[in-house]
Amino acid sequence: MPRISAMDNEKLFLSAQALLVKIGIITGWQLSDDDMYLTVITDQFTKKLAEEYGDMNTEEIEFAFRTYGTEVKDWGKQLNLSLIDEVMNKYRTKRRQVSEFEDSKTKPLDLPAPPLTDLDMEEWATMTKDAFLKGIVSIELLPVDVYVYLEEKGEIKLSKSEKQIIKNRVTKEVEFKMRTDFHFYSYLSGKDKETHIQNMCRKTVLANHFKTQHENEKKKRS
């Protein structure tokens, strides 16, 4: 897993989106579905990762929230950068103490979390599905990595024509939003619009997949 400082802008942005979802699930902090809030929190968190946490990787940040996230007693509060800093400051203090102890023994620090296994991905997919269906996260914050995993597993299957129909619809939505939403236009200007459209297509498919699964599960229970 590369350090944050080694990521390109698009990878960093997608990683920030995925982290926000996971942080919300771990801590119970709410992610509003307001478009302006999502645009601003994702943009500012992406910048914070680049400016303050470049020496870490995303798995280490997840580990920090699994370890210290539930110690911050703000269940149900709207997720913001101050809450994120509170957890990360605790983790970095502990990290520094461990590093100093290891240095005193002339041994290297070995903190990176292990890579994600299939079981980890299954749990992530399940948590993401539950959070989406409960309205905790919106379609914009669905992680592309979960889509890729489910497609590789064969759980998501679309023909080329089906993908093209979705792409045409998403492209129209993005172009309309760029014309009518200044904040969105400012955010997307200078970025790769095609990559953004591709990712939104994947998120749309993932959202539809979760909804279909949910409907099928309800039919089985009835």
* Structure confidence by residue, pLDDT tens digits, 193-213: 888 899 899 999 999 999 999
* Helices of type H across 28-113: 35-52, 58-68, 81-104
Backbone angles phi, psi at 78, to 5 degrees: -70, 130
- Residues 75, 177 contacting (CB under 8 angstroms): no
- Residues 141, 17 contacting (CB under 8 angstroms): yes
Is residue 78 scored above 70 in pLDDT? yes
Is residue 163 scored above 80 in pLDDT? yes
- The tokens for 149 are 């995993």
The mean of the pLDDT values for the chain is 83
pTM: 0.54
